[in-house]
Copies of this chain bind each other. A is one copy, B any other.
Amino acid sequence: MRSPILDYLDEIIEKTAEVTGGAPADYIPELAAADPDRVAIAMCTVSGTVYAVGDAEDLFTIQSMSKPFAYGLAIEQRGLDEVLEHVGVEPSGDAFNELSLDPENGRPLNPMINAGAITTHSLMCTTDPVDRLLTLIGAMVERPVEVDEKVAASEQSEASRNLGLAYLLDAQGVLASPPQDAVSGYIRQCSTSVTVRDLALMAATLANGGVQPNTGERVLGRRTTRQVLSVMASCGMYDAAGDWFTAVGIPAKSGVAGGIIGVLPGQVGLAVFSPRLDAHGNSARGVKMMELLSEDMDLHLMDPGRPARTAVRARHTRRIGEEDATVLVLEGDLELSTIEMIVDGLVSDPPSTRQVVFDLSRVDEVRDVARRTSSNMTTKLLDEGYEVVVVDPDEVLSGFKDSRGREVTWWTPEQLADASS
């Protein structure tokens, strides 16, 4: 049985068939020669399932979509602070191939424009930076990836603009390697050969906080990944950051070979491919496909999701052993909004029994904010003379103490059942 999700992605390809405007990038001879009618979509969830339709096995060059990953690698190598000394995080209203230095400190405005990406490339590491990046990408896509040396050679022959940027960056003192090396390395980086399937896995790795969904390998730090996604959100789509963000609402990056990746943190990675470019240098059909995907699948980050519900499934008073106890049955994730509700209920309507039982059997995860707030709440309850009992069969709260280090009482579900029977 074919997944209806694949059917849906097929539909997107059909619906955008009429978007035939634009032309493949013409400044790189090898790209100009590519078949402009190819089209593909891939989606990968944070649990690692890939859905891919169209020319999903066609290889094309990653181009500027390499920038977020090179940025991630540079941060891992140098630390965020050092990278920020060389490249800013401000959106640029200029074209992607403008110098766009920050007037205050002479750094390129962000790592998504060429000047910033060349600088980032030079920061990746001292030797074999491209090999290092290929290794990183390979770990994300679960296969070895290679540079398309024909495309690289073709770009190298038209490299004056990037060389110009690189020498100016060197004059500015922000480049960490010789200009000629930085540019030839950067061009090879951009010539990494990938499929939409690969790109969807790469995007999903970002969506998953830097952990490859299938192998479970952490390939980028959680903070690094957050930084990469933040910069994609504010600076990723050339010349049209605001427009893209209001319309599509997820961090994204395009490449002049026709690819676009998009990331919904915590949920999915997306990749589309169609070589004809619009005036901004983004895949024309690719943009349209991303808009439909975002719209249909409620991906927009500024969408509120459902009105929050209580995480307290039930609160009742029950006879437990010799005395009455107040039992709160909690469920779902305990995060800011849910823990707030629990605490609010306890504060506004204090339990009338000595024992207060928190049943966490149905709780999936406890975020830091919830654990901290629970500690504080527990302190208040203990101070007022309550006994706090926790039922936590899945150990989502293991090691929990109150904010002064005092222990609570731990029961198994069976103990709770026995006690209250």
Q: A residues engaging B (CB < 8 A)?
A: 1-5, 7-8, 45-47, 49, 88-93, 99, 109-110, 160-161, 163-171, 179, 207-209, 211, 222, 225-227, 229-231, 233-235, 240-243, 245-246, 249, 251, 264-268, 296-310, 332-333, 335-337, 340-341, 343-344, 346-347, 350, 364-365, 367-369, 372-373, 376-377, 379-380, 384
Contacts and interface: CB of A to CB of B under 8 A. Distances in A.
Given A161-B171, A163-B179, A333-B306, A298 B368 contact: yes
Contacts of A298: 335-336, 367-369
A173 B332 CA distance: 53
A406 B400 CA distance: 51
Given A164-B164, A209-B304, A266-B305, A90 B240 contact: yes
Contacts of A302: 225-226, 229-230, 233, 251, 265
Contacts of A380: 1-2, 4
A305 to B, nearest CB: 4
Contacts of A379: 4
A92 B93 contact: yes
A274 B8 CA distance: 51
Contact of A89 (B242, B264, B337): B242
For this chain, the copies found in one complex come to 4
Contacts of A164: 163-171, 179
Kindly name the residue among A4, A166, A251 whose own CB sees the greatest number of chain B CB atoms within 10 A.
A4
Contacts of A166: 164, 167
B163 A165 contact: no
5 contacts: A89-B243, A230-B249, A298-B335, A306-B365, A332-B332
Contacts of A161: 167-168, 171
A227 B246 contact: yes
B208 A234 contact: no
A249 B267 contact: no
A242 B251 contact: no
A72 to B, nearest CB: 13
